Homo-oligomer: A and B are copies of this chain.
């Protein structure tokens, strides 16, 4: 099976990386500055920076630097990243239908 669907496996490897889903969810709202994402997401700046680098390397996000003072750096989804919207939407649908507040409390224990 691993040989039958290396593409699926590769996609899962990216999406399944912890926090990548939430970062994509965040960027589907639109272009964001690093500081905005840092404020919105429950992770450290260092971890966020690490994930953004990974997603940039995978060509899922784009990093734009504006030479203002102070310099402005913005992140947005590339075409490849925007194409993940149906994936994120379907996960959200499933979560709305099937994840209960009890499930969430349980996994916090």
Contacts and interface: CB of A to CB of B under 8 A. Distances in A.
A109 interface: no
Q: Is the interface of A mostly helix, strand, loop or mixed?
A: helix
Interface residues of A, number: 44
- How many copies of the chain does the oligomer comprise? 2
Contacts of A71: none
Contacts of A93: 86
Interface in A21-61: 21-22, 25-26, 40-42, 58
Contacts of A20: 16
A84 B2 CA distance: 20
Nearest to A3: B42
Contacts of A65: none
Interface of A: 1-2, 5-13, 15-18, 20-22, 25-26, 40-42, 58, 80, 83-84, 86-87, 89-99, 101, 103-104, 107
